[in-house]
Amino acid sequence: MDRLFTPDGIVGTAITEITCEMVMNTGRALVLALSRKLQHRVTVFVGMDTRLSSGILESALVAGICSAGADVVRLGVIPSAAVAHLTRSSKADAGVMVTAAHRSYEINGLKIFSGTGYKISEDVEDELENTVCRHPEIIPLVSHERVGKAIAYKNAEWDYIRHLLKTGRYDFTGIRAVIDCANGCASSTAEKLFSALGVKCIMINDKPDGMNINSRCGVLNTAAMAKMIVERRADIGLVFDGDVGKCLALDEKGDVIDGDQIMAVLSLHYKNEDKLKDDTVVITDTSNFGFRHFAESNEIEVITSRPGERCINEKLLDSGYTLGGEQNGKVLLPELSTTADGFLTAMELLDALKKSGKKMSELTSVMEKYPQVLINVGILPEYKELWKNNHNITDLIERRQYGLGDDGRIFVREAGDEPVIRVMVEGKSFDKINRYANEISDMIKEETGTAPVLKKSTDRRTGFENSR
């Protein structure tokens, strides 16, 4: 792997890229990094999702941590946010989640949290990467009498549920919801949690077998749920990804409600309850253009961050803001959680729905989504950053932005977790933005001499992604 960490943690093909040896060394390197700053014996909390490979990678991680002289508390299958919360509340030194979030079962990885419950800093990531990838010989191995212990946290799930129930005075009696667990970490927890809050739960995709996580379900596959919502006359659909970091919703008509729309609903809800700090929301460069128009018309300030949980959290924490997130359903509520928690997002959305007395489609009508097209273009490593200096590419982008005027925008950037350039165009006319996106993608292909990886073309009027 060229780089160990992506904006979403360590991610790659399980066993062949994310090898047991690499995971074991990462555990050892983490203990080494912590031991340099701490004077006591290190304790690390470890959780995992339902992927086939998660068990063996979790075992390798535990072995690495213990062989470096630290103790491990094993949480079992549990959401990422639970790892962060229990690490913080138990005053452990770090937490690690074995997961690849919304990705398919053959992909896996690690999310690492500090003892405060936040994702580790870039400096710590660089330190771990330097140790694991370039200087593995400095990783310590302790003698047999100093090896760490691994114990199970038997009530981890219920302690996490109790924590969620204490975050607010929720009562969702009368709400009927279809809940898609993505055959992931929500499968065991979701019904227990939402039933306790009074929700009439209709559960789907809650029987993980190791290979069906995010398979034709979850945040990237909502078509089947849309049909069920209408058939079962549900008030709302709640959709999670594999580790419950993301939450999307569907209204009573089966229309998708993405992260931008969720933040629109929550921002008005918080503003009405005087809980929206400085009437400000933190969004990302890729948030739908319609959110800015919504915010302007409702006298809500917008702060823009680079994509990624850590970048958004930095903006939120620097000024004490209460709401931020991304279009993909990763919503951050810093007064309630240190990391993105899909369950908390769903609970806050249900709270807004219940208190409004309206239908979900009425709540989301406050924001008009602009059609949006995203095309991923594959690049070779030698073209990283250099394409930005290609005048043919930049001139075309400028001309097409001029063609959109104030009714749209073009956003072109390199992905942080894969070798592609993301070309995103949005505006009022889908035909125009689709044409512009393809012209820019073709120009990048022509100028860099690489074949485009057309992973998706997304019409955000529907919220569904179409394979190309």
In a domain, 118, yes or no: yes
Question: According to the model, what pLDDT value does residue 417 have?
Answer: 65
Q: Are residues 214 and 333 in the same domain?
A: yes
Question: According to the model, what pLDDT value does residue 468 have?
Answer: 29
Q: Are residues 186 and 302 in the same domain?
A: yes
In a domain, 452, yes or no: yes
In a domain, 393, yes or no: yes
Question: According to the model, what pLDDT value does residue 332 have?
Answer: 99
In a domain, 322, yes or no: yes
Tokens of 410: 């073009």
Question: According to the model, what pLDDT value does residue 2 have?
Answer: 60
Question: According to the model, what pLDDT value does residue 464 have?
Answer: 34
Question: According to the model, what pLDDT value does residue 454 have?
Answer: 45
In a domain, 174, yes or no: yes
pLDDT in tens, the chain (468 residues): 567 998 889 999 999 999 999 999 999 999 999 999 999 999 999 999 999 999 999 999 999 999 999 999 999 999 999 999 999 999 999 999 999 999 999 999 999 999 999 999 999 999 999 999 999 888 878 999 999 999 999 999 999 999 999 999 999 999 999 999 999 999 999 999 999 999 999 999 999 999 999 999 999 999 999 999 999 999 999 999 999 999 999 999 999 999 999 999 999 999 999 999 999 999 998 899 999 999 999 999 999 999 899 999 999 999 999 999 999 999 999 999 999 999 999 999 999 999 999 999 999 999 999 999 999 998 887 777 778 888 999 999 999 999 999 888 999 988 766 778 999 999 989 999 999 999 999 999 888 876 445 444 444 443 333 322
For 33, the domain range is 10-157
Q: Are residues 143 and 290 in the same domain?
A: no
Q: Are residues 298 and 446 in the same domain?
A: no
**In the block, residue with structure tokens 């503003």:** 271
Q: Are residues 393 and 289 in the same domain?
A: no
Rounded Cα distance between 108 and 60, Å, is 13
Q: Are residues 180 and 319 in the same domain?
A: yes
- Domains of the chain: total: 3
> Last residue of a domain, which of 315, 342, 364?
364
Q: Are residues 427 and 357 in the same domain?
A: no
CATH number at residue 459: 3.30.310.50
CATH number at residue 94: 3.40.120.10
How does DSSP assign 399-430, residue by residue? HHHHHHGGGEEEEEEE-SSSSEEEEEEEES-H
CA nearest neighbour of 317 among 118, 76, 32: 118
Rounded Cα distance between 386 and 388, Å, is 5
Q: Are residues 212 and 301 in the same domain?
A: yes
Q: Are residues 211 and 280 in the same domain?
A: yes
Spatial CB neighbours of 403, under 8 Å, sequence gap ≥ 6: 432, 436
> Last residue of a domain, which of 313, 340, 364?
364
Over the range 291-319, which residues count as b (16 or more CB within 10 Å of their CB) and which as e?
bbebbeeeebeebebebbbbbbbbbbeee
Whether this model's pTM surpasses 0.95: no
In a domain, 235, yes or no: yes
Q: Are residues 347 and 399 in the same domain?
A: no
In a domain, 5, yes or no: no
Q: Are residues 295 and 379 in the same domain?
A: no
Q: Is 56 exposed, middle or buried (0-12, 13-18, 19+ CB in 10 A)?
A: middle
> Last residue of a domain, which of 364, 387, 404?
364
Q: Are residues 196 and 151 in the same domain?
A: no
In a domain, 135, yes or no: yes
